[in-house]
Amino acid sequence: MKRIYCFLVAVELMIGMPVIAQTFSFDGRNREAILVKPTDVFTVETGYGYDFQEIITEARKAQNDTYRLTDGIFYFSVKVPDGNYRVTVTLGSKKAKGNTTVRAESRRLFVQNVETKKGEFKACSFIVNKRNTTINLPDGKTERVRIKKREESKMNWDDKLTIEVNGDAPAVSEIKVEPAPDVPTLWLCGNSTVVDQDYEPWASWGQMITRWFTEDVAVANYAESGETATSFVAAGRLKKIVSLMKKGDYVLMEFGHNDQKEKRSGSGAFYNFAYALKQFVDEARAKEVTPIFVTPTQRRSFGQDGKIQETHANYPEAMRWVAKDLNVPLIELHEMTRVFFETLGVEGSKHALVHYPAGTYPGQVKAFEDNTHFNPYGAYEIAKMMVEGMKTLNLPIVQHVRKDYIPFNPSMPDDWRTFHWNDGPCIDIVKPDGN
């Protein structure tokens, strides 16, 4: 079951008409909203509706005792142009109690297991960034981001905004989608440790950090598996970001995993890598945007002494050197993930990465033993480290961290046994690029 796709939500817009708020009711409580009937399947003509139901059906047929889908999971699609959107989900049901998780686009976590009593309703709002591959240039011409073949099926590169309703007992009364063009945006640049991973059991901090910011902040994750700082630029990903960024935004860059593998002319930590980092900084500052460096996450590589061994050569040091030289704020994720792994220990750290015995997921005939890529628990913990890094730098953006965020210390991580994640129907037994 290699490419099982998830759900998408959408609002058809008339050409020449401004983007307006649209509200969809699933139970008829709001008589002014568009009533969504069980038979309303998404079409281009309607621009909204339930989507990818056959995918959920297929996933249920393939599930086993370990991998099981929540009853009541669904996807809803709304067609919208590029931009940031405030999504307000009203959770709850007149008929039963609920426990609801909401993710958007490629499994970006926004609402986590919110409980509602029978007849109780709770409104939760968050910002979703939606994009396609078109780059609008200042001279009126257009180019396209050169995405990889496998990205063509991702939720992040289409003309729809994607909402996934999941949880132990999903209960959604209403979904409202409205433009939010003025909120500050965190632009994420990086590789497979940052990217929105589409498929279980893979995950990255870029799709988890959305959980910790209010409806006053957008996160636009342009990272992709296998990318280096130079390939990110060459593919047009940075050019797309530059075409959209505005004063007051932030650009976060985590590279180093794949950069060290480059062998072409000029390669090296203090050569092409350092030059590419400077290019990011120059482009950001030209738009009055704050650049932030993030040193790469550690690999799970323990020595005989039980300590993490350095596997990134001098690339973290090169990033520190450029940061100091250009006066760029830097988040020491390299050090925080080292402490995190060593605290969990040689065996315990496996629970933060994709380490699962054969048969855990449908179609998985071999054990997963990946020491680079995180599972949802590991990605969730690293997202908290990123918040702590921003707090350490005293970035103004931290005033928008959600009130339920609890200060985090990588030497005292959350217990992986108590972490709860509702699997989605999208599974891939193939490792991401950049292992």
Catalytic residues: 192, 369, 373
Q: In whole angstroms, what is the distance from residue 56 CA to residue 74 CA? A: 8
Write out the DSSP string of 360-416: SSTT--S-EEEEEEE-HHHHHHHHHHHHHHHHHTT-GGGGGB-TT-----TTSPPPG
Note every long-range contact of 385-390, with CB atoms under 8 Å and residues 24 or more positions apart, other chains counting.
Answer: 385/205, 385/333, 385/336, 385/337, 385/340, 385/410, 386/205, 386/209, 386/294, 386/331, 386/333, 387/209, 387/212, 388/336, 389/294, 389/331, 389/332, 389/333, 389/336, 390/292, 390/331
Work out whether strand 172-179 and strand 83-92 pair parallel, antiparallel, or are unpaired.
antiparallel
Q: Which amino acid is at 258?
A: N
Distance of CA 6 to CAs 145, 166, 196, 266, 308, Å?
23, 11, 13, 41, 36
How would you class 124 by CB atoms within 10 Å of its CB: exposed for 0-12, middle for 13-18, buried for 19 or more? middle
